[in-house]
Amino acid sequence: MANIVIENIKKSFGAFQALKGVSLTINDGEFVSLLGPSGCGKTTLLRIIAGLETSTSGDVLIGEKSVIGLPPKDRGLAMVFQNYAVFPHMTVYENVAFGLRMQKADDARVKKQVEKAAGLLHIEPYLDRYPNKLSGGQRQRVAVARALAVEPGVLLMDEPLSNLDALLRLEMRTELKTVLQEAGTTTIYVTHDQTEAMGLSDRIAVVHDGRIEQVGTPVEVYNHPATRFVGGFIGNPPMNFITMPVTNGQVAAGSQQFAVPAQGGEIVLGLRGETVERAQSGQGLDMQVRVAEPMGSHLLLTGSIFGQPARVILPATETVKNGATVGLTLDPKRLTWLSPESGVSYPAAA
Amino acid sequence: MSNTMNTSSTAGFISARRLLFWSGIVALCAWVLVPIYLVALGALGGRTGAYQWPKNFLPTDISLQPFLLFLRTEGVFQSFLNSLGAAGITVALSIALGAPAGYALARYNFRGKDSYRLLVLLTRAFPLAILALPLTVSYIRLGLYDTVLGVGLIHTVLALPFAALVTQGIFLGVPRELEEAAWVFGCTRIQAFFKVVAPLALPGLVATAVFAFVISWNEVFAASVLTVRHRTLTAYLLTVLSESPMHYRFAGGLMLILPSVVFIFAVRRYLFAIWGVSSK
């Protein structure tokens, strides 16, 4: 077990800056996701931590010790690759045992560790098989078992579920969470899938354009995004951003008045679609509904508020016709206010 | 009614496909095997068998006697051993030098990579005939003239460019992630190569070795120019066959063909990608 400190890591590929100074501290035993769209630099950061890529500048400490310049094998970590990277010329048993064999562990310990890891991932029936006889999900389990068998201080996972089909992904996600909780390993998990990050992580680091935009628990990141990007990237439907006029530090939304951290001009309201309620007729913030989609579990409304595109969610029991105007009551505790110039949110009101 | 017609026409389609498939296989096999068979008939049939016309397609009149006689002819067996020696040197050197070059081309980015690749091929642009005289002079000075080692070195020069370029493709076919996984799980670069990359590349490397063997085995010009007494089989046969009876020529031809066939047959399973990792 080990903590990880990442200090001002920069990485350039020629003129392209993949990482523009990233700092992050991950506590011992913590599960942190690096979440971001493809090309944001999250995989590069993971590979720098693993030692598969060199950083242009900055430092990485694993267990208080700088690992910059050390080869991957001397960093005390294990990794699960996106394409599994299970060795095709070895049986499942030898795959799982690979790291232990490299550590020159004796046969008894290898056997014990392999059986333990195989048990956790339910791959005991396949130990004698070669990987080409396994399905994608089974190979994924082998890759995770191989990583856990060495009892690493740090476990790195690079989009480990992205090659599985949707149903299997859901199943593996739940299972990963159970297994990793049991193992208690410090884990960095790279993904572009927000539901994976939300479901698995203790904390999420949202990466965008070579920078970390926000670090926080899934609920913090969801409810109070630090920037417009974070709010738009996390959540389905994404957060609505509505620019509203401010008069004397107040914003009027239908019959509701909100004190905002600006005196005049404009402010952007960050509104989660499912935090609204339908208002009494003639009250509330007006929304012009273009399309109403009954989804079974809820009713999804697409239209505009203040002339700006918006999506909100109402309970499935409501009925709204296409083209109608509905009034919405907002929950003052669940609103985010953002600066229209910088797109950065104001601290949540006390 | 229409249903039965459908099934019968489908069955007809399938049997037609099968017929096409098997006739293709037979044609391809015949293309390769019939000439070899005819050469063998000539070699084993003795003087009468070689000149007999029309040919007797069944191996009635054959015995190993004429072939053994040919083998006992002075110089044949020795030149056969020389050929094997030269081919062995070629295979060993072109894998030992070509595979690392191919690995470097596959895994590293370095300045001038593309020009290097072109340069490697350019070594084949000079006709051997032009190089023959200076080469002979240098070989005499170095004491390599008329030696098996000398011929092996020249054949290595011929095979090396292909070995480097072919192994590059083979190493590219081994996913980089597998190598990275080996590094992460405790391997140095060299350990990762021997534990993960080499086993997966083995079929391709063996194929490359076969290729180098065949290049050396079939090469006749350099071998003829650079040797006098220690000739390889091709060079030896070239000089003596024009004065030999017909069935000796057939025996010589058979002897040239057989080792390649046997060698390729022996390593055939490596020629297919056995681990399911081919050119992904």
CATH number of the domain bearing residue B197 = 1.10.3720.10
Is residue B215 located within the same domain as residue B109?
yes
Q: Are B169 and B127 within one domain?
A: yes
A31 phi, psi to nearest 5 deg = -110, 110
Backbone angles phi, psi at B141, to 5 degrees: -65, -40
Question: Cα(A140)–Cα(A84) distance, rounded to whole angstroms?
Answer: 6
Same domain flag for A276 and A302: yes
**Number of compact structural domains in chain B:** 2
Alpha-carbon gap, residue B97 to B121, rounded angstroms:
15
Does residue A344 fall inside a structural domain? no
pLDDT above 70 for B280: no
Domain membership of residue A119 as a residue range? 4-227
Q: CB count, 10 Å around CB of B155?
A: 27
Mean pLDDT for A242-255 is 90
pLDDT of B191 > 50? The answer is yes
Asked if the model's pLDDT at residue B279 lies above 60, the reply is no
Residue B197's pLDDT is 94
**Is B277 an interface residue toward A (CB < 8 Å)?**
yes
Mean pLDDT of A130-159: 93
What is the spatial distance between Cα A204 and Cα A225, in angstroms, rounded to a whole number?
11
Pair (B56, B83) in one structural domain: no
Average pLDDT across chain B, whole number: 84
Residue numbers of the domain that contains B116: 74-271
Q: Write the pLDDT tens digit of every residue in B169-183.
A: 889 889 999 999 999
Same domain flag for B178 and B56: no
Q: Taking each helix axis from N to C terminus, what angle separates B148-172 and B113-122, rounded to the nearest 10 degrees?
A: 140
The pLDDT tens digits of the residues spanning B227-271 come to: 888 889 888 888 887 788 888 888 888 888 888 788 777 776 665
Same domain, A152 and A282: no
Amino acid at B2: S
Going by C-alpha positions, the residue among A216, A211, A218 that lies closest to residue A193 is A218
Q: Using the predicted structure, report yes or no on whether residue B122 has a pLDDT greater than 90.
A: no
Query: By percentage, how much of chain A surpasses pLDDT 90?
Result: 77
Q: How far, CA to CA in Å, does A203 sit from each of A35, A199, A207, A318, B191?
A: 10, 10, 13, 35, 37
Q: CA-to-CA distance for A81 and A158, rounded, in angstroms?
A: 5
CATH number of the domain enclosing A18: 3.40.50.300
Domain assignment present for residue A163? The answer is: yes
Of A227, A253, A273, the one marking the end of a domain is: A227
- Residues 154-213 on B with a CB inside 8 Å of A are 175, 177-178, 180-188, 191, 196, 199-200
Test B187 with A102 for CB contact under 8 angstroms: yes
- Whether residues B275 and A89 touch (CB distance < 8 A) is answered with yes
What does pLDDT average to over chain A? 92
Q: Does B42 score more than 60 pLDDT?
A: yes
Evaluate whether residue B276 is within a structural domain.
Answer: no
Q: Which residue of A has its CA nearest to B192?
A: A102
Q: How far apart are CA A116 and CA A93, in angstroms?
A: 12
Do B195 and B81 fall within a single domain?
A: yes
Instruction: Report yes or no: A304 and A241 within 8 Å, Cβ to Cβ.
Output: no
The answer to whether residues B164 and B227 belong to one domain is: yes
Whether A283 is covered by a domain: the verdict is yes
**B278 belongs to a structural domain:** no
A97 lies in the same domain as A160? yes
**Does B78 lie in the same domain as B58?**
no
Structure tokens at A21: 């100074």
**In the listed set A200, A227, A254, which residue is the last one of a domain according to the structure?**
A227
Is the pLDDT at A28 greater than 90? The verdict is yes
A238-247, B10-19, B159-168: range with lowest mean pLDDT: B10-19
Q: pTM here?
A: 0.80
* Integer Cα distance of A107 and A129 in angstroms: 19
Same-domain status, A218 and A255: no
- Whether B151 and B243 map to the same domain: the answer is yes
- Are residues A165 and A35 both part of a single domain? yes
Q: Which of B63, B91, B106 is the last residue of a domain?
A: B63
Question: With contact defined as beta carbons under 8 Å apart, do B122 and B115 qualify?
Answer: no
A-chain residues near B182 (CB < 8 A) = 87, 98
Which one of A201, A227, A253 terminates a domain? Answer: A227
- Answer yes or no: do A48 and A92 share one domain: yes
Q: Is residue B277 part of a domain?
A: no
- Asked if the structure places residue B69 within a domain, the reply is no
Whether A52 maps to a domain, the answer reads yes
Tell me the mean pLDDT in the region A135-141: 91
Q: How far apart are CA A343 and CA A272, in angstroms?
A: 16
Confidence at B49, pLDDT banded by 50, 70, 90: low
B87 interfaces chain A, CB cutoff of 8 Å: no
As a whole number, mean pLDDT of residues B85-99 equals 95
- pLDDT band for B276, please (50, 70, 90 cuts): very low
Same domain? A222 vs A241: no
Cα B226–Cα B232–Cα B238 angle in degrees, nearest 5: 85
Instruction: Tell me the C-alpha distance between A337 and A347, whole Å.
Output: 8
Cα–Cα distance for residue pair B189/A122, rounded to 1 Å = 32
Choose the most confident range, by mean pLDDT, from A213-222, B32-41, B111-120, B127-136: A213-222
Structure tokens at B146: 């008329």
CA distance B173 to B193: 14
- Span B111-120, mean pLDDT? 86
Same domain, B21 and B93: no
Per the domain annotation, does A155 fall within a domain? yes
Contacts of A193 (CB under 8 A, 6+ apart): A161, A162
Q: How confident is the model at residue B1 (pLDDT cuts 50, 70, 90)?
A: very low
Rg (alpha carbons) of chain A, rounded to whole number = 24
Task: Identify the pLDDT of residue B277.
Answer: 39
Q: Quick check: is A17 in a domain?
A: yes
- pLDDT on residue B8: 65
Does one domain contain both B10 and B113?
no
- Residues in contact with B78: Cβ distance below 8 Å, sequence separation at least 6, in sequence order: B230
The stretch B127-147 carries a mean pLDDT of 89
Tell me how far apart the alpha carbons of residues A204 and A34 are, in angstroms, rounded to a whole number. Answer: 6
The answer to whether residues A11 and A150 belong to one domain is: yes
β-pairing, A203-208 vs A31-35, is parallel
Residue A349 confidence (pLDDT): 57
Give yes or no for B74 touching A (CB within 8 A): no
Q: How far is A50 from chain B (nearest CA, A)?
A: 7
Residue A346, in any domain of the structure = no
Looking at residue B58, the DSSP 8-state letter turns out to be S
- Please answer whether residues A258 and A335 qualify as being in contact, where contact means their C-beta atoms are separated by less than 8 angstroms: yes
Angle CA B155–B156–B161, to nearest 5 = 115
Residues A206 and A250 in one domain: no
Summarised one tens digit per residue, pLDDT across range A286-319 is 999 999 999 999 999 999 999 999 999 999 999 9
Q: Are the beta carbons of A134 and A90 closer than 8 angstroms? A: no
Task: Tell me if B222 sits within 8 A of B155, measured CB to CB.
Answer: yes
For residues B81 and B215, state if they share a domain: yes
Number of domains in chain A: 2
What pLDDT was estimated at residue B4?
Answer: 52
Put simply, the answer to whether B185 touches A146 (Cβ < 8 Å) is: yes
pLDDT tens digits for A254-270? Answer: 888 999 988 888 999 99
Euclidean distance between CA atoms A158 and A80, whole angstroms: 6
Closest-approach residue (CA) in chain B for A156: B184
Query: Are A97 and A110 contacting, i.e. CB atoms less than 8 angstroms apart?
Result: yes
d(CA A127, CA A96) in angstroms, rounded, equals 9
Residue type (1 letter), A139: R
Q: State whether A272 and A322 are in the same domain.
A: yes
Residues B41 and B100 grouped into a single domain: no
Kindly state whether residue A275 falls inside one of the protein's structural domains: yes
Whether A215 and A281 map to the same domain: the answer is no
- Pick from A312, A268, A266, A270: nearest CA to A287: A312
